[in-house]
Structure 1
Amino acid sequence: MSDTEKSAQTQPNESAEPSFRYNAKLAQGIEEKWQKIWDDEGTFWAANVNGDLKDGKGHNAEGRPSYFAMDMFPYPSGKGLHVGHPLGYLATDVVSRYHRMKGENVLHAMGYDAFGLPAEQYAVQTGQHPRITTEQNIANMRRQLHRMGLSFDNRRSFATIDPGYVRWTQWIFSRIYDAWYDEDATNPSGSRGCARPISTLVEQFESGKRAIPGFEGKAWADLSEAEQADVLNDFRLAYISKSPVNWCPGLGTVLANEEVTAEGKSERGNFPVFQRELRQWSMRITAYGHRLIEDLDTIDWPEKVKLMQRNWIGESHGASVHFDVETPNGVKDMEIYTTRPDTLFGTTFAVVSPEHHLLEDVPAEWPAETPEDWKGGYATPVEAVKAYRLAAEAKTAKDRVDEAGEKTGLFTGLYAINPITGAKLPLFTADYVLMDYGTGAIMAVPGGDQRDYDFAVKFGLPVIYTVKPLPESGDDLANYEGKAPFVSHDGIVINSSIDATKAKG
């Protein structure tokens, strides 16, 4: 054989890729091989303590330490996963494999949060039943997750539209609905306060052991069925409330704050969003505020995450203060919750949410000597309140409480009586007060709150600074300078700005 013939034979072999070079094709072959083995052998199966659900070797838990790894459920509204999904799923998969290699019984499963607005809107637009689209998307996501080789026990994976899942969520809701929070009962951990069947509350009303709120002196049997239902609604852990929501007529549904753009439009469809007061189901989670904070100490979370949770829970201790409000329809009660009842002496005005019930009783005419800038340019309080309510509806809750936003509001024509001093406080309405936060009404103490101070300055309202011993620190004393006029409790202006040295003297 000539050298030319030899060269022609060897040249293709020399340019051919080695059999075991690690490239995309080899990687895919390895992945498919081992993923099949894991599936066939049930490598990632989690075993129950007893029963049919065993691990891949046919054993129950048999005393092995258990470990539960939970992921955020993907929402099957699109054709498949986006790049952000693997970011979290790979991290929990690493943790799951680590604990599994330690011999622990690891439960790592996946679910699909299949209910929601995108699926509904797609059905409206296409006329196709949302279950068809949703199940197609779930099938594709399962395929993608499987190709990633994640260590899920697929026997335990589910979607929130599965009848079995819906059945148990409804069962849980029925248990919550038929329960109330008894502050005097002892819970399993030994501390006070726990849920009890609503029937135990009815027994207390029937026996007279507990007074019936709003019907003191009456027997439970004397109340109508509707009245009894209203009383129990104020105790149930799942109850019907009426509160402001982000209502989107174009979508025919309520939206979360995150689903509303900065322009006040729906993120999906770009439809206008309005504030509406609607009846809806609520959970009395505030009853568990103290226990939620205490239980954070039992969780192995980073301290900064626990701090975020404590701030979110927002447990506070204070008092309910009742102000009499003189209206054309008689004296009405205005309840205010405050963590600082000692600042009642510094209250110079009060503010209610645009949704507050007191605005149904504003006078037909402005009181005499009402400043023009309090009226907002309107001829009567009724006209002013109606227009302001419409303006507030066009804002989201986030826009209304934005610290950087301009404070708006107007006088209602009503006055509240300070229960401590007897002073008549002008009652304003302002959209920075939310109906679903506290009681929807605040007593404004501009001498101690920046937002109240800004509002007071805008409308020319007095500012009271409660006199108290000043600290020795020069830095702390400096905080008293440059403030608004210092006004005593009898309303007399002492000086235009507090001089720390003179005030201390």
Structure 2
Amino acid sequence: MKYDFAAIEKKWQDVWDRENTFAAQNDYTKPKYYALVEFPYPSGQGLHVGHPRSYTALDIVARKKRLEGYNVLYPMGWDAFGLPTENFAIKNHIHPEIVTAKNVARFKSQLKSLGLSFDWNREINTTDPAYYKWTQWIFLQLFKKGLAYKSEMAVNWCTSCKCVLANEEVVNGVCERCGSEVVRKVKSQWMLKITEYAQRLIDDLDLPDINYIDRVKISQKNWIGRSTGAEVDFGTTQGDVLKIYTTRPDTLFGATYMVISPEHPYIEKWVDVIENLADVRAYQEEAAKKSDFERTELVKDKTGVELKGVKGINPVNGKEIPIFISDYVLMGYGTGAIMAVPAHDTRDYDFAKAFDLPIIEVVAGGDVEKEAFTDCATGVMVNSDFLTGLSVEEAKVKIIDWLKENGKGEPKVNFKLRDWVFSRQRYWGEPIPLVYCEKCGWVPVPEEELPLRLPEVDSYEPTDDGQSPLAKMTDWVNTTCPHCGAPAKRETDTMPQWAGSSWYFMRYCDPHNDEALASQEALNYWLPVDWYNGGMEHTTLHLLYSRFWHKFLYDIGVVSCSEPYAKRTSHGMILGENGEKMSKSRGNVVNPDDIISEYGADTMRLYEMFIGDFEKSAPWNTASIKGCKRFLERIWNLQDILTDGDSYRPELESAFHKTVKKVSEDIEALKFNTAIAAMMALLNEVSDTGSINRAELKTMLVLLNPFAPHLTEEIYEAQGYEGRLSAQPWAVYEEAKCKDDTVEIVVQVNGKIRTKLTVAADIAKADAFALAKADERVKAAVEGKNLVKEIFVPGKLVNFVVK
């Protein structure tokens, strides 16, 4: 009987669709399990073989949980707003909605061909007005609570796309999407006050019922960047105060100059006293052409211009010190001003050397000229007046007390995290549901009028002045104020792609609800997500944004748990066969359609899980996939040696119990490759007996089903087992039967191996020594010698020490 994978896989995918096999039930009395993967952006290129790694892994978990009796929610949808679709629409004169629908259909057919057990009844799409109605509703609640506000700020501006980019969308100083130059530009932007939640976003990572892998926790904490120090007021010769934040207030006596951002508002305030204004303007112009990344991460040579005509005043000693502007200081981070202590900081040291500025050591122990700076947590203060002789930690306490007493500063907790830039000057995004009235200011669109739909436009191009294409839609823009009835104008910026992906996991709980983003009953039942897996690249911003929105909705009573995910894991990428990241430009993309056509979906699923440690990157290897195909063919051929039997045969009983335990535990631990290896080993043991009985085959099919669902369902049905395999209970094991009856131990004399013995697993020490001494090779090694010591390690070895 030939293993016709193409016919088998088509058959069972149709059965699952027809019978709605994987639909989550609305019976909230059952034990639930919510497995989640990141919903994809449906690009025109479709999937490559790297995408299904996460989907298949959580599919295995979801299928196992169903067999264990859980009501499982394993949903899928589409993160479909965004720049690539809009750019394609502009280039090809096609409405983004048409592009999106075509791309979604392509992705969906590919996912279905993999036999993934998604509940397609709960499919969502961020571009569906029925979905983005609730994205808009959440934004309005943020606005009403003062967490959405408008601010003038310097932003990353793509000169080609003519839109604002988030920092993460700027790669090596150019637009991630189009590769064009990115410059800095001041624009009025909608912001979300995520910084209000900074401390909670750190603290809740350590809640007892939250299980995030360490590298995910670390990425969250590093991005938020909590630090403790002091906010210090530096005076100026113009009478203004420059506030700086420092984690090292103990080094204030070593501050010999200040640096402010080229965008700092004091520059305009001091324009009449700055003696080298032309130089300052030229430098500001150059700085505006660089992204934040270029200014802080790529810069090697320290550049800047002194503001001649104005000085800073060090608050601890009253000394006047120069003020520079330099592009490595950003207005959007901290206060836009820093103090510089060149004797104890490499960056400040380089700058001071470049501009011939004083370098004063204030912590003893380093060699400044060799750039061997004193460790920041140790050392003794020098050249620091009333701090001299104190340890660093003692000095920190004393200087903060002094600053408070003298009105020069105060202790401060600071975060690297900045508020979230929420505006995009694009068409293909959620309209921001606010109108501007000259009398009332910004006014929300009434909730009963949501969704505020995107209007049809003739052109998707941003305007030449950088406004959204919606700005040209005067009939749509001009409206009346919902508050006073006066003429008003709609906001024409749209939301970023991050908006729809920040709450999608909630909508899956109740995706067809017209009255709320989901019913309270559904949210209380399904949340938090039990297991969320995604790419490591999304464990900073997407994870942070979705946790922020969830916490806000918790605060206003929409959800009943403070964290959205109980468990968050991450997988490694599948690389091209050349070991590089898969990309069209490298020519190393492997199309899953081709693999499925040649080897079948079950073989591809199995190989994606067998390719290596799930949490690490691994190169694709077409030769290795053939081994997985052969394994499945051997499983198929077990039907030829099937015999009757309703229990495990004695010679295989321990092997089956051990394999059930191993596969069960490995699935939960993301060790899919070793689970498969255990099933391969069991198959070899079965094959050695020349037959398999019905009880043994059923267990093998249950264990393998989450990995290779089509093949296992087909064999189960073909051999007349009752019902569907997907409805059977998961295999169980007895711990006592997982232990070996016998073990192999090593026998050594003076640490040198003389023989190996197979003994009872629970053999007593005296019996082990007796058996070892009876062996001829051991006898020869100890004969005529004085036995000094006998060592026994149960299950491992016997060692005789002789002289």
**TM-score scaled by length of structure 1:** 0.69
Q: Distance in 2 between matches of 1:79 and 1:480?
A: 55
Q: Does 1:160 align with 2:130?
A: no
C-alpha spacing 1:272/1:308, structure 2 compared with 1 (3 Å): closer
**Mean alpha-carbon deviation: is it higher for 414-423 or for 317-326?**
317-326
Aligned to 1:463: 359
2:157 maps to which of 229, 247, 253: 247
| Aligned mates of 1:279, 1:316 — CA distance in 2 | 29
Q: 1:322·1:334 contact (CA, 8 Å) conserved in 2?
A: yes
Tell me which amino acid in the other structure corresponds to 1:355: E
- Say whether the 8 Å CA contact 1:324–1:332 is kept in structure 2: yes
| Secondary structure in structure 1 of the residue aligned to 2:118 | coil
Matched, 1:62 2:43: no
Matched, 1:76 2:57: no
User: Map of 1:102-501 to 2, 5 A cutoff?
Assistant: 102-179=68-145, 236-262=146-172, 264-298=173-207, 299-327=210-238, 331-363=239-271, 380-402=275-297, 405-413=300-308, 414-467=310-363, 482-483=370-371, 488=383
**Alignment partner of 2:73: what SS?**
strand
Q: 1:467 to 1:338 in 2, by over 3 A?
A: closer
Q: 1:343-388, CA deviations, whole angstroms, 9 ceiling, x for partnerless residues?
A: 222211111111111121345576xxxxxxxxxxxxx521111111
Amino acid at match of 2:162: G
> Cα–Cα, structure 1 residues 270 and 305, in superposed 2: closer, same or farther, change >3 Å?
closer
Please tell me whether the aligned partners of residues 399 and 405 of structure 1 are also in contact (alpha carbons under 8 angstroms): no
Shift of 1:79: 4.1
Q: Distance in 1 between matches of 2:178 and 2:21?
A: 45
Q: Do the aligned partners of 2:260 and 2:338 also contact (CA within 8 Å) in 1?
A: yes
Contact 2:236 2:242 in 1 (8 A): yes
Deviation, structure 1 residue 288: 1.7
> Matched residues in 2 for 1:104 and 1:381: separation?
72
| Cα separation, 2, equivalents of 1:250 and 1:483 | 43
Distance (whole Å) between structure 2 residues aligned to residue 74 and residue 237 of structure 1: 28
Q: Percent identity?
A: 48
Q: Judge conservation of contact 2:257–2:321 (CA < 8 Å) in 1.
A: yes
1:265–1:361 distance in 2 versus 1, CA, 3 Å: same
Aligned to 2:52: 86
Distance 1:308 1:62 in 2: 37
Sort the Cα spacing of 1:355 and 1:281 in 2 relative to 1 into closer, same or farther, 3 A: same
1:173, CA displacement in angstroms?
A: 1.1
1:80 aligned partner, one-letter code: G
Matched, 1:46 2:12: no
CA–CA distance in 1 between the matches of 2:305 and 2:164? 28
CA RMSD of aligned residues (A): 2.4
Structure 2: gaps of 5 or more residues: 374-380, 386-803
| d(CA) in 2 for partners of 1:404, 1:252 | 25
Match of 2:12 in 1: 34
1:156–1:420 Cα change, 3 Å: same
> What secondary structure is seen at the aligned counterpart in 1 of 2:237?
strand
Distance in 2 (alpha carbons) for counterparts of 1:249 and 1:314: 31
- Give the TM-score of the pair, scaled to structure 2: 0.44
Contact 1:277 1:355 survives alignment (8 Å): no
Find the aligned partners of 1:432 and 1:175 in 2 and give their Cα distance: 36
CA distance in 2, matches of 1:117, 1:462: 49
Q: Please give the secondary structure, in 2, of the residue aligned with 1:84.
A: coil
The SS at the match of 2:5 is helix
**Is the 1:464–1:487 Cα contact (8 Å) retained in structure 2?**
no
Letter in 1 for 2:23: W
Question: Which residue matches 1:17?
Answer: none
Alpha-carbon displacement from aligned partner over 1:302-359 (angstroms, at most 9, x marks no partner): 22321222112212223222222234xxx32322122222222221111111111112
Deviations 1:222-247 (A, max 9, x none): xxxxxxxxxxxxxx222223332210
Distance 1:479 1:72, change over 3 A: farther
Kept in 2: contact 1:462–1:487 (CA 8 A) = no
User: Is contact 2:343-2:368 (8 Å) kept?
Assistant: no
Check whether the contact 2:230–2:245 (CA below 8 A) recurs between aligned residues.
yes
Change (3 A) 1:83 1:256: farther
Instruction: Work out the CA distance in 2 between the residues paired with 1:445 and 1:478.
Output: 14
* d(CA) in 2 for partners of 1:115, 1:21: 45
Aligned-partner Cα distance in 1 for 2:354–2:45:
52
C-alpha distance in 2, partners of 1:271/1:461? Answer: 38
Greater length-normalized contact order (CA 8 Å, ≥ 6 residues apart) = 2
Letter in 2 for 1:407: K
**Cα 1:34/1:61, change in 2 over 3 Å:** farther
- Deviation at 1:292? 1.5
**Unmatched 5+ residue regions in structure 1?**
1-19, 49-59, 180-235, 367-379, 469-476, 491-505
Q: How far apart, CA to CA, are the structure 2 residues paired with 1:315 and 1:323? A: 23
CA contact (8 A) 1:69 1:108 kept: yes
- Alpha carbons of 1:149 and 1:384: their partners in 2 closer, same or farther (altered >3 Å)? same
CA-to-aligned-CA distance 1:435-489 (integer Å, 9 cap, x gap)? 1111111111112221111111111111222146xxxxxxxx5767835999945
8 Å CA contact 1:362–1:412 kept in 2: the answer is: no
- Cα–Cα, structure 1 residues 250 and 410, in superposed 2: closer, same or farther, change >3 Å? same
